[in-house]
Amino acid sequence: MTSETTQKLYYPSEEVVKNAAVSGMEAYKALCAEAEADYEGYWGKRAKELIEWQTPFTQVLDESNAPFFKWFADGKLNVSYNCLDRQVKNGLGDKVAMIFEGDKGDVTKVTYGDLLTRVSKFANALKSLGVKKGDRVVIYLPMSIEGVVAMQACARIGATHSIVFGGFSAQSLADRVNDAGAVVLITSDGQNRGGKALPLKAIADEALASGCPSIQKVLVVKRTGGETAMVEGRDVWADDIVAQQSDVCEPEWVEAEHPLFLLYTSGSTGKPKGVQHSTGGYLLHAILTMKYTFDIKPNDIFWCTADIGWVTGHTYITYGPLACGATEIVFEGVPTYPDAGRFWKMIQDHKVSVFYTAPTAIRSLIKASDTTPAVHPKNYDLTSLRILGSVGEPINPAAWEWYYENVGGSRCPIVDTFWQTETGGHMITPMPGATPLVPGSCTLPFPGIQAAVVDETGTDVPWGQGGILVVKRPWPSMIRTIWGDPERFVKSYYPADFQGKLYLAGDGAIRDKDTGYFTITGRIDDVLNVSGHRMGTMEIESALVAHEKVAEAAVVGRPDDLTGEAIVAFVVLKGARPSGDEAAKVVKELQNWVGQEIGPIAKPKDIRFGENLPKTRSGKIMRRLLRQLAKGEEITQDTSTLENPHILDQLK
């Protein structure tokens, strides 16, 4: 019996196939064959067609200094010009670029013409503060029009932006500012979330007070109107300085390899990695994936629910939709405020046609509609939808089917997209008008991406056998290096085990033995995926050990119905092992401490105390056993190599 007969396949409707950019499986296979036959030709042709170059490139790919690959290196362009000026020039000045909906439900529409004006003025404001090409600007803003404007303004003048998600702590912000050597910080008085105004500037002040010598100016955007302390000579209100600027700002034409942004991501060691992205290759993939994966059309209303603090918000809010001349939603709030029908109501109100969200959000909304029938999607008119998407982590089949039936009315293909901060855009994903869908599988590689599953030596494993996910050839939107640490880049992504020839994604995968479809099986390193966001276990361990009561800590993940993975910490205190109320009190204290050190997203769900951790005689912590304990499984394997097997009972 093949898996074909056990797996239900969901086929796109005739209508979807007929109108799609990639129409039917034959068209998909033809694109893959084109890339296979002439790899450089395939990417070069699309880069010429989809991007407006100020200086055309003559070389597509330069592999002379592998793995530091260069794409379109002698070409010059500007990303902001390609997103805004080009659309205005093509007659789309009056077309709505962004529909912003605030936390409280207020709606602001911004046309391409308006957006170009806003970005130009903001770019001139940055220039007046002395920001120039190649400088780094850190942006610590809520989801807002200003967030997108600030990013586009940096791109316009050739400054490299680095966004820090508004939920990160002062310490996390300071670390990133210092690593990037940023000259300006853009922040806001606060952010509105779930009906509450939360401070941001106060956290930024705390970060800067800990020592950020590179920062010269702080630009503060008004959002909540909350009380804000301003430091004389350093802090400037954005409104005041932007109002004085000209609305014309000539774009800075930069080399295709110029760093557009740095985005920090958790790795398996404690220190976050500054993933550096290029300008030309990144923009190409952002446009191409909008066209192929989301099948974007001129009349679409596109909504990606991610935050600009993550890569998804970079590629599929700030850059991809605008570079395609689309209309998109930017949403400040949370999916459960004022109630858990918020997403469905917004899809109904704004007639959203392409909707892109994360499995964690879908699972929490399933739960909400089970307990409160009034917020079930069936109570809303969702007929405008034509494509659904999923991002951030693998979606479990039950959530997929619920999403397909209840949100998409069993007519919208779901593009379950696998990609990473490092890849810049989709790597493995269905094509909505071509790929037969299997719930829980991200199906097949994006045309031109040579993904494969290999063993520890880098040899391909047969379909049906699990292994390590790799990419065999460089692609345009890939990470260029880790900022300031090229050695770590090589070690992390082009390891010696694979002769430095294969890109290591850090995930395990398996291909279906009949269809060749990929399913991602989880991380192969000490990185957890919590609600679609990567958290390095080492980073959380370091934060715990920094607390005065903690002697030692080990952090692992366990499966969680809602967030995909939950963080479990095993802790040895300096004093006696606590129990009962005392233990509960210390748990709370340590959770808050991690929240303060890294951000709320990193708080361990479960903390267990032991007099020691399970170690081998050579002193190595047996994390494999901790993973079993975290899941509540019986330890069946041999524990005779442990120095202290009795400790396992304490940690159950």
Q: Picking from 47-51, 82-86, 414-418, 494-498, which range would have the lowest pLDDT averaged per residue?
A: 494-498
pLDDT of residue 641: 67
Confidence band, pLDDT 50/70/90 cuts, at residue 6: low
Could you identify the residue written with the tokens 């068209």?
27
**Does pLDDT of 295 surpass 80?**
yes
**CA angle (17 as vertex; 12, 22 as ends), nearest 5:** 110
CA distance 281 to 76: 12
What residues have CB less than 8 Å from 47, skipping those under 6 apart? 57, 60, 71, 72, 75, 280, 284, 476
**Does pLDDT of 3 surpass 60?**
no
CA distance 430 to 24: 11
CA distance 131 to 217: 10
Looking at residues 4-22, what average pLDDT do you find? 86
**CA angle (573 as vertex; 571, 577 as ends), nearest 5:** 95
What residues have CB less than 8 Å from 127, skipping those under 6 apart? 157, 249
* Helices and strands in the chain, H and E counts: 22, 30
What residues have CB less than 8 Å from 257, skipping those under 6 apart? 70, 71, 73, 278, 279, 280, 480
Q: Which two tokens stand for residue 252?
A: 């800075």
Confidence band, pLDDT 50/70/90 cuts, at residue 125: very high
Q: Picking from 263-277, 303-317, 429-443, which range would have the lowest pLDDT averaged per residue?
A: 263-277
Could you identify the residue written with the tokens 């379950």?
416
Confidence band, pLDDT 50/70/90 cuts, at residue 642: confident
Q: What is the pLDDT of residues 458-470, one digit of tens each?
A: 999 999 999 999 9
CB 323 within 8 A of CB 286: yes
Q: Can you say whether the dihedral through the CA atoms of 544, 164, 244, 213 is positive or negative? A: positive
**CA angle (199 as vertex; 198, 204 as ends), nearest 5:** 145
CB-CB neighbours of 132 under 10 Å: 12
CB-CB neighbours of 508 under 10 Å: 16
Q: Which two tokens stand for residue 170?
A: 């002062």
Looking at residues 568-585, what average pLDDT do you find? 93
125 versus 525: which is more confidently predicted?
125
Residue 214: burial class (beta carbons within 10 Å; 0-12, 13-18, 19+): middle
Question: HSE on the CB side for 99, CA within 13 Å?
Answer: 20
End-to-end, the C-alpha distance of the chain in Å comes to 41
pLDDT of residue 5: 42
Q: What is the pLDDT of residues 555-566, one digit of tens each?
A: 999 999 888 899
What residues have CB less than 8 Å from 607, skipping those under 6 apart? 568, 569, 570, 571, 586, 587, 590, 591
**Does pLDDT of 134 surpass 80?**
yes
pLDDT of residue 40: 98
What is the length of the chain?
652
Could you identify the residue written with the tokens 């006696």?
576
pLDDT of residue 257: 98
- What secondary structure letter does DSSP report for 341? T
pLDDT of residue 537: 86
Q: What is the pLDDT of residues 20-54, one digit of tens each?
A: 999 999 999 999 999 999 999 999 999 999 999 99
Residue 578: burial class (beta carbons within 10 Å; 0-12, 13-18, 19+): middle
Task: Give CA torsion, residues 189, 194, 195, 200, to 10 deg.
Answer: -10
Under DSSP, is residue 578 helix (H, G, I), strand (E, B) or coil? coil
**Does pLDDT of 367 surpass 70?**
yes
What residues have CB less than 8 Å from 293, skipping those under 6 apart? 389, 415, 417, 426, 429, 430, 431, 432, 446
pLDDT of residue 552: 87
Residue 392 identity: G
Q: Which two tokens stand for residue 40?
A: 């450089």
Looking at residues 156-171, what average pLDDT do you find? 96
**Does pLDDT of 271 surpass 90?**
no
Classify each residue of 342-354 as buried b or exposed e, where b means 16 or more C-beta atoms within 10 Å of its C-beta. bbbbbbbbbebbb
Averaged pLDDT of the chain: 94
CA distance 558 to 135: 41
CA dist 201 to 56, 181, 205, 240, Å? 42, 19, 6, 17
Confidence band, pLDDT 50/70/90 cuts, at residue 194: very high
Q: Which two tokens stand for residue 560?
A: 């969680």
Residue 380 identity: Y
Closest C-alpha among 154, 408, 186 to residue 258: 154
- What secondary structure letter does DSSP report for 85? I
CB 556 within 8 A of CB 627: yes
pLDDT of residue 621: 81
> What angle in degrees, to the nearest 10, is found between the helix axes of 39-50 and 24-37?
110
130 versus 525: which is more confidently predicted?
130
Could you identify the residue written with the tokens 């040899």?
459
What residues have CB less than 8 Å from 600, skipping those under 6 apart? 167
CA distance 66 to 504: 14
Looking at residues 391-403, what average pLDDT do you find? 93
What residues have CB less than 8 Å from 622, skipping those under 6 apart? 614, 615, 616, 642
| Maximum separation of any 2 CA atoms in the chain, in Å | 74
Q: Picking from 159-163, 327-331, 423-427, 625-629, which range would have the lowest pLDDT averaged per residue?
A: 625-629
| pTM score of the predicted model | 0.91
| Residue 181: φ, ψ to 5° | 65, 45
Q: What is the pLDDT of residues 498-518, one digit of tens each?
A: 999 999 999 999 999 999 999
pLDDT of residue 1: 28
- What secondary structure letter does DSSP report for 396? P
